[in-house]
Structure 1
Amino acid sequence: MPTTPEDPDEGAQTRLADHETVRLPIQRHAVHGEDSARRPARRAPLALAAVVNSLWAAVVSLVPTLVVVWLSFALDSPGGAPLANVLRLGLGGWLLAHWVPLQTGIGTVSLAPLGLTAVAAWRVYRAGVHTSRAVGARARPRGAPWSPWPAARAGAAVGVVYAALGALAAAIAEHKGLDVSTVRVTLTFAAFGLVAGTLGAFAEARGIARLAARTPQIVRDATRAGAVAALLVLGAGAATTGMAVAFSGGDASQIIDDYHTGIAGQIGLILVCGFFAPNVTAWAASYLVGPGFSIGSETFISAAHVSVGPLPAVPLLAGLPSTPATGYAPLLLGLPLAAAMIAGWLLARRSLRGDPGRSWFPLLGAAALAGPIAGVLLGLCCAAAGGSLGAGGLADVGPHSGAVAFVAMFMVSIGALLSTAATTLALRAKRARE
């Protein structure tokens, strides 16, 4: 039982002593915490982080190519193929997905499968994110200004490692019947890794957000509206492609049956079509915008003119139109204008929700600038979706990117301006009534 001291001073001393015994561990813990806070956090070496993340990005994008090549060998040899041949052809397809032209027996092949390209770009972007995070590009001492150099070093390291991986892949893939330029592969992979990796590194370090915050409001609104319009036009192209293939499902099935292969070969052929589906989506977007696209020297497809020559036996091309747009088909040509008007409507709603009294000039200026931005984006997509499938009649495949960018620029600007002005008037009239 606790005893009460007879001397009050003795009790005070006892309570003080007890209090001190309780405080001593807390003080030691606080000092230990200060020492740990002053000690810099341990970070992974930049070279190690870049090698691990870039290698993983390459493996993730390479495996689908190897699987498709292994399945596609069933078209000619149901018993399979040697692992060396599968590896070489898979690496050749992987190089092609990075826009590396291949010199083959039928000529130059440079039509990149954009489905696989998107996977590779996404994984290299994530490699930049993880490398930037591993070296602490986002962390900085309290009160210190933000520096872009840690993120820039992370992106550059990813680019260097990815270039080395591309050179190694070119050395393995090159054999009789397939010739690639190692110098060009190295430079292409370095640029690919540098761009995608740096974007990921700066996104992780909040560099892109800082840049956007310092950009004028009119430029941010125009960029957002132009990107929305371009994505909607590409979405309309994807929907048009899907409907065309669905309506021509019998022809597509007949093309698959004509190969006389088993289930494995059919799966491989369908996966190849999936890899090139984004290319055909860009072609369909070019058709909707107006300029159209060509598949070699004898096939040209547009709403006003259709000329069909010999085509590759690919199920994805079964939905190509055989005549100019008639009946209800011309209504599809209004989809890009509808996409521009939706982008203008969203621009006005978002801007007026944040600032109801916003003046007309920044709103209409952003709508007008959305056209060039959408035109540039669509032109780049169409340029990436084109290439060559060999010499002779298939040397030029894809849409006319310059014409698509030019037409889309005016179409999006006009549609966004009309929609922004109408939406602004309607919202302000509704607010005035309320």
Structure 2
Amino acid sequence: MSQLIERGTTLSSQGRTAAQRSTAIGTAVLGGVTAAGLGLGALTVVVLLLWIASPYPDSGPSRALHLAAGLWFMAHGGGLVREAAGGPAPVGLAPLLLAALPLWLLHRAARDTLAADDDPAAPASEVAPRTLLGALLGGYLLVAAGALLYASAGRFTAAPLSALLAVPGTAAATLAATARHALGPDAAALLPARVRRVLRALPAALRAAFTGPRLATALKAAAAATLALLASGAVLTLLGLALHTGRLGADLGRLAPDWAGRCTVLLLCLALLPNAAVWGAAYGLGPGFTVGAGSVVGPLGSTPRPPLPHFPLLDGLPEPAPGTWATGAVALLVPVSAVLLLARYAAGDGHRSWRRTAGVAAVAAGLCGAAMTVLAALAGGALGRGALAGFGPLWWLTGLAAAGWTALAGVPAALALRAWRRHTERRVVRGRAPGRRALPGLPFRRGRTDRRGTAG
């Protein structure tokens, strides 16, 4: 009788565990569906509001809905195909600001899922984090598949191959970054066993450079350097627009004679401002960028370019001419700002050894170059065929320039800053800081006197 009771208790416990697993996985799938649906819905509301505000709507709401679905795919790095007189024309220049809301929603859903997994009383605690993140990704891609079917018709259609590659890749990268942020070093357990074996086979010095506090410091330094590049690029963009305000106002009035149209154009410019910041960073780093037909806009000079669309952000481009010392000096501020911030974080308070400081700065330079490579690849694209087939910086050359600047100048700058901080600290400890009295409580050397002549 007792054996039957124990067996029934075991079966009941197993059934309860299975039910909890099913509930946790279902909740994760629902979280992915919700994140995708909210991002798609937000873009749909914005597009419909702009369509309603337009005084001359030339189509029904169906075209606006198709455009919203296409913009959602562009937010993930996908491309569109536009109907044109000579045939379909690709549109691959995606506004980077569009990605902010969908990726934030997915990040928040993943964070909440992992937080529920840490709660022992929650059903998610019975399921491995990798399974939960996979279920979340599955729910997200389920909505993406439905949106792709809907966006496959209309004046602006989503490019199927681009969408099939961009949405899963972007979503998986977002989940990986969220897991690394939420779990810390324990996120390595989410990797497949074969990948973990390969990582364990790496040399100890290489593993130490990419794990633990060194990696955290290098990530902070790389993030600071990348943000400095983008901020400097944005400043260059705004400076160029400020120098051509007359042309900017004329193009804005030509594109949209009414206030609703002008608001639409300004919203599009705002969404493209991060792209312009990446272009400005590429300009300051040296490689520059292209604006169609193989033209180059850089600090050393700008080559002739084809006729461009009348768009306000393009009004800040310099005229085709050789570069001058002024353009070179202004462009030099971009890498200098990145080098200074990278050195500041890599040097720390001066207590790291010179070898570790140089290693952190080198790793940070590589990470900064990788970040700029990805951003440059995402910030450019096509606006059509022929002369409009290429816009933006060359991704690999921009990343190489960012890594080169921050490595060749950032490593010596970090070592110099470390030496200066150590030297300053020693002078303060010895009570010989210029223009200051000795700090109270610090030991004095025997036989030395302070300013008042009393023995120390």
Superposition TM-score tier, normalisation by shorter sequence: 0.7 to 0.9
> What are the ranges of 5 or more consecutive residues in structure 2 without an aligned counterpart?
1-15, 190-206, 430-456
Aligned to 1:367: 361
Aligned to 1:313: 310
Alignment of 1:44-59 (within 5 A): 45-59=23-37
Letter in 1 for 2:367: I
1:137 to 100, 103, 117: 117
Aligned to 2:268: 272
Q: CA deviation at 1:290?
A: 0.3
Aligned to 2:445: none
Cα RMSD of the aligned pairs, angstroms, is 3.1
Aligned to 2:193: none
Distance 2:127 2:187 in 1: 16
> What are the ranges of 5 or more consecutive residues in structure 1 without an aligned counterpart?
1-38, 142-146
Distance 2:65 2:380 in 1: 26
Change (3 A) 1:246 1:148: farther
Q: Which digits, 9 at most, give the CA deviation of each residue in 1:303-335, with x for residues without a partner?
A: 112133211221111111114443533222222
Q: Which digits, 9 at most, give the CA deviation of each residue in 1:319-354, with x for residues without a partner?
A: 11114443533222222133212321232134x3xx
- Kept in 1, the 8 Å contact 2:73–2:158? The answer is no
The answer to whether structure 1 residue 242 and structure 2 residue 238 are counterparts is: yes
Distance 1:361 1:389 in 2: 48
1:166 to 129, 144, 148: 144
Q: Which digits, 9 at most, give the CA deviation of each residue in 1:231-251, with x for residues without a partner?
A: 211111111112222332222
Aligned to 1:190: 168
Q: CA deviation at 1:286?
A: 0.4
Change (3 A) 1:71 1:267: farther
Distance 2:57 2:163 in 1: 33
SS of corresponding position for 1:78: coil
The answer to whether structure 1 residue 281 and structure 2 residue 277 are counterparts is: yes
Provide the TM-score with structure 1 as the length reference.
Answer: 0.79
SS of corresponding position for 1:45: helix
Distance 1:288 1:398 in 2: 14
Alignment of 1:298-309 (within 5 A): 299-306=295-302, 307-309=304-306
1:175 to 141, 150, 153: 153
Aligned to 1:380: 374
- Kept in 1, the 8 Å contact 2:290–2:297? The answer is yes
- Kept in 2, the 8 Å contact 1:128–1:199? The answer is no
Q: CA deviation at 1:43?
A: 8.8
Letter in 1 for 2:309: P
SS of corresponding position for 1:108: strand
Distance 1:299 1:64 in 2: 37
- Kept in 1, the 8 Å contact 2:32–2:138? The answer is no
Aligned to 2:129: 151
The total of aligned residue pairs comes to 384
Q: Percent identity?
A: 27
Aligned to 2:342: 343
Aligned to 1:420: 414
Aligned to 2:385: 391
Question: Which structure has more RCO (C-alpha within 8 Å, separation ≥ 6)?
Answer: 1
Q: Which digits, 9 at most, give the CA deviation of each residue in 1:119-157, with x for residues without a partner?
A: 222221112112333xx322359xxxxx99732222212
Distance 1:183 1:341 in 2: 42
Change (3 A) 1:263 1:58: farther
- Kept in 1, the 8 Å contact 2:29–2:138? The answer is no
Change (3 A) 1:400 1:294: same
- Kept in 2, the 8 Å contact 1:128–1:198? The answer is no
Letter in 2 for 1:390: G
Aligned to 1:297: 293
Letter in 1 for 2:118: R
Distance 2:69 2:245 in 1: 32
Aligned to 1:118: 100
Deviates more, 1:113-122 or 1:209-218: 209-218
Q: CA deviation at 1:294?
A: 0.6
Letter in 2 for 1:257: G
Distance 1:392 1:68 in 2: 32
Change (3 A) 1:183 1:333: closer
Q: CA deviation at 1:205?
A: 4.3
- Kept in 2, the 8 Å contact 1:158–1:193? The answer is no
SS of corresponding position for 1:240: helix
SS of corresponding position for 2:118: coil
Q: Which digits, 9 at most, give the CA deviation of each residue in 1:179-236, with x for residues without a partner?
A: 4455653453233323313433453445568899991444433333222212211111
Change (3 A) 1:224 1:202: closer
Q: CA deviation at 1:79?
A: 5.0
Distance 1:338 1:201 in 2: 31
Aligned to 2:192: none
Change (3 A) 1:345 1:180: closer
1:254 to 250, 275, 281: 250
Change (3 A) 1:428 1:203: closer
Aligned to 2:446: none
Aligned to 1:10: none
- Kept in 2, the 8 Å contact 1:348–1:423? The answer is yes
Distance 2:300 2:244 in 1: 21
Higher Cα Rg, which structure: 1
1:228 to 224, 227, 238: 224
Change (3 A) 1:364 1:182: closer
Letter in 1 for 2:117: A
- Kept in 2, the 8 Å contact 1:138–1:205? The answer is no
Q: CA deviation at 1:282?
A: 0.7
Q: CA deviation at 1:388?
A: 1.1
- Kept in 1, the 8 Å contact 2:294–2:390? The answer is no
- Kept in 2, the 8 Å contact 1:237–1:283? The answer is yes
- Kept in 1, the 8 Å contact 2:179–2:187? The answer is no
Aligned to 2:327: 329
